Amino acid sequence: MGRETKCFDKQPDTVLLGPQFSRVNIKVAEQLRAIRVDFLPGAMYRLLGIAMHELFDGGFDARDFFGAEMDSINEQLRNTASLEQGKSIVERFLLNRINRIKEIRPVDVALYNLLKNDGSISMDKTASLACMSLRQFERQCKERIGMSPKLYARILRFSKAYRLHEACPHLSWMEIAHEANYYDQMHLIRDFKTFAGVNPSVIEQQLLKTSLRMQKDLSY
């Protein structure tokens, strides 16, 4: 669905999402059957060899990146009744591309550590893990994850807060701010306005109206 209108846009069978910044609302009219693949930071760059800032905040037809191979995968998925069988098809497709992927570098390890700690590592320490100066690390982040490391850390912290609320709606926003390592509740509210477009209390009311939870079961 478009972000600025209530019109629905027909999406390709397989959508490749670049590094996401803006909120996107998903409305399921009847039933949703989909297979989602989540990439660790830097992995999509290593797989595609494309600077992630070129794909920042965008959605693209996966056929534009994988050509006829993706047409074959889409056809197999259309003729598969079981989600488990569909997952196997997607896993084989990705495993077959492993020999073409770029090698892991210290910067990828540093970004993974930032992810595992929900953004709560200083930039100097993270750059040190990457064996780079802070300026070099920032340039590599633009290429590998499409954004600055500070913005990525903010998104990770916000993601933890959002997932905490989905999983534990009984927690107060002050408790969530503490658990997500925010300096205070006002900083949490600021990030909700930036990344979700609304205050936490509005998100709370919106989630009460739907049983769909897209974030709480994400495992890193």
Instruction: With a cut of 50, say whether residue 4 has pLDDT above it.
Output: no
Q: What does the alpha-carbon distance between residue 189 and residue 185 come to, in Å, rounded to a whole number?
A: 6
163 and 88 housed in the same domain:
no
Instruction: With a cut of 50, say whether residue 1 has pLDDT above it.
Output: no
The number of folded domains in the chain is 2
Bridge partner list, 61 = 15
Q: What's the rounded mean pLDDT across residues 157-183?
A: 92
Q: What is the pLDDT of residues 60-95, one digit of tens each?
A: 999 999 999 999 999 999 998 889 999 999 999 999
Higher pLDDT, 113 or 22: 113
| Residue 214, domain member (yes or no) | no
| Residue 87 domain boundaries | 15-100
What is the CATH classification number for the domain harbouring 180?
A: 1.10.10.60
| Residue 58, domain member (yes or no) | yes
Average pLDDT of every residue of the chain: 88
| Residue 134, domain member (yes or no) | no
| Residue 6, domain member (yes or no) | no
| Residue 60, domain member (yes or no) | yes
| Residue 172, domain member (yes or no) | yes
This prediction has a pTM of 0.85
23 and 96 housed in the same domain:
yes
87 and 162 housed in the same domain:
no
